[in-house]
Structure 1
Amino acid sequence: MLLPILLLSAAGFTVLTTEFIIVGLLPSIARDLEVSVPQAGLLVTLFAFTVAALGPFLTAYFARFKRKPLFITILLMFAFANTLAALAPNIWVMGFARLLPALGLPVFWALASETAVDIVGPEYAGRAIAKIGFGIVCATVFGIPVGTLISDAWGWRSAFAILAVVALAKALLLWVYLPATHVARASVTLRSQLSLLRSPLMIGHIVLSVLVFSGMFTAYTYLADILERLAGFDGTLVGWCLMGFGAVGLIGNSLGGRMVDRHPLIASIVFSAFMIGAMVALIPSIHSSLALAAAMAIWGISQSALFLVSHVRLMKAAPHAPAFAASLNIAGGNLGIGLGAMVGGQVIDTYGLGSLGFAAAGFILLSILLALMLMTAKPRAAASA
């Protein structure tokens, strides 16, 4: 039963790459559609806010549908949306092309792991979920730089066109090889899951994810623009820099996975502290190849680790409803992505690209302070339970 799991992992790579690929393409999209880079950055905000606002509710609703036709339909929707993006004549059509996949991403992401467990059985649950997670990690690590290199070679529209073909191919593979699985049990109602939101501790964890992702994407959304305009790199070199940024993220994923099992909040604090140092050091290091590489490496390791740490942290905070907690992290993280892209655009317009690192570090510093508060609150919450 390994092939269906690998196909779900590969489909997850396509789904997440569709969200993040635009980060490396923003300068090219802005030039071609005749808008500013901050205006193009609102496409990131649109996608992320849609996931944040609707993700948990869409996931809860579609959880009762049969998985195989649901996943195939989502991938077909992604194929259509990426085709539309490749043909978009203006920013409005591009916005609609980004809205559609934002509706399907949280449903796929939240239900794919559950489906993998249903395929292999609970005794192999850990390994199945790890394989699904690998596709998601690869999307965050390699999706953006590969898209940037494709864009530099053949234009940004070709990156979306290739994604459309890949999504269609994976829909066909799932149709052939994914076995039919049972619909999730309805014993855990939406109402009982929403009761998690009455817990101040859970709200604190969600806000922590919002702050962490806001800090990440205040600067990361415009990293390609920083490397083009401030470092003077061409599109090919930017693509390879983003590839290196993603490659070191595999180290962060491994380190984050080890630390989060010991103490999720301490892991969040440690990697956030490293990220602050890297973000603040990036601009002063922009004309030194060695210093720039070091700053980007530390940033890349910390960012990848925080993706994993945030996801596991919320699931551990709600052990009785981990799937719904994961959907809340997806929502909170995407709210942060959208907020970060929006704040970053405002910072560029008001203070310039050179100030992005400090604005991003401000969000991350707030996340550290909140994590410290949650550490002191946790014993009291447990005692009162």
Structure 2
Amino acid sequence: MAAISNLAGCSHGGSSVNFGERRLTFRPTPALKTRISWPSKNPLAVGHLGKGHKNSGVRMALVDEKLARSGDLPKPSDILAFDLVQGALVKWSSVTDRSLPEPPTAVFLHGILGCRKNWGTFTRRLAQEFPTWQFLLVDLRCHGDSASIKKRGPHTVSSTALDVLKLVQQLRLTPRVLVGHSFGGKVALSMAEQAAKPLARPVRVWVLDATPGKVRPGGDGEDHPEELISVLSTLPQEISSKRDVVDVLVRKGFSKDVAQWVVTNLRPTGPLGSSQSTFSWVFDLKGISEMYRSYEETNLWKIVEDVPRGVHVNFLKAERSLHRWALEDLQRIHAAEELAAEEAAGVEMHVLEDAGHWVHADNPDGLFKILSSSFQ
């Protein structure tokens, strides 16, 4: 398995930009990366500037005062944290000009213990290749910047999907593509199951290395998410050293790659530059534990075997992720392929070569080639 530390981390940095009374559309220069980040202490101070990237064609419009005056601005305590990555040819903004036609939008969802940054590099590449598209990256409940939002339980696949449906509705978006990795894949399926709107028709759903039903976590030599959550729950809320956490996880039998990825969820708590700074977790581990149990238990075979007209479900199996895929699952998906074709819908199975479960880190080029068919 390629180093999971290659995934974009979940730590957060940058400075806040307060737009005050002005109405602005921010188009970053090639040296800037922009994020729309919710929640914020000031609902108008939603921009953060980070380190530069080579993707000069990518830009982003920021939420601002006009939306607040319209009365349609959701409370920062209610809306999920997100990034909206736009291709260079996207002119649309739900804030500045609603007369322009909405550009095609894709939603990207992370897995358990991940965050929206996991998809940052990949979606910036998509925005370069497909400049008329925009890509919504979401921190799911209990994860990343959305962890501070006090979402009501139960914390399930279904409630997580409803969160994202509410978000796209609040942003006045009608996504044409949903992409979810692992837990996020089941969330994408649940979104398609729960709502005709605000989803487009046709809509393509990509479920990356997850099956619709029983979860088979871990095999010999594999990292077990449930065990990882259990070990993390024994650690203190404040951590003095990331290296100490990595060492503890490795001693408990987890791979160094996974251990290094997990500590990207640690955020400094002390003053910047302080040698005595400690770290705290940016996720709600109790809520995540409940979400993972729901992931194991949730059965979404019904929508796969009775796909609504206009919905196309794509499963992607990582070649080296053998334990997650039982022969019966593969046979059932192939049977659904034939049935869906007769009903003017679609189910497809894809295999990503040279990749383990962390598909966007192990083989990003192969994943890019497979997903690109949805954005032509």
Query: TM-score range with shorter-chain normalisation?
Result: under 0.3
TM-score of the two chains, using structure 1 as the length reference:
0.27
* Greater strand share, structure number: 2
* Greater helix share, structure number: 1
TM-score of the two chains, using structure 2 as the length reference:
0.28
Highest relative contact order (Cα 8 Å, sep 6+), 1 or 2? 1
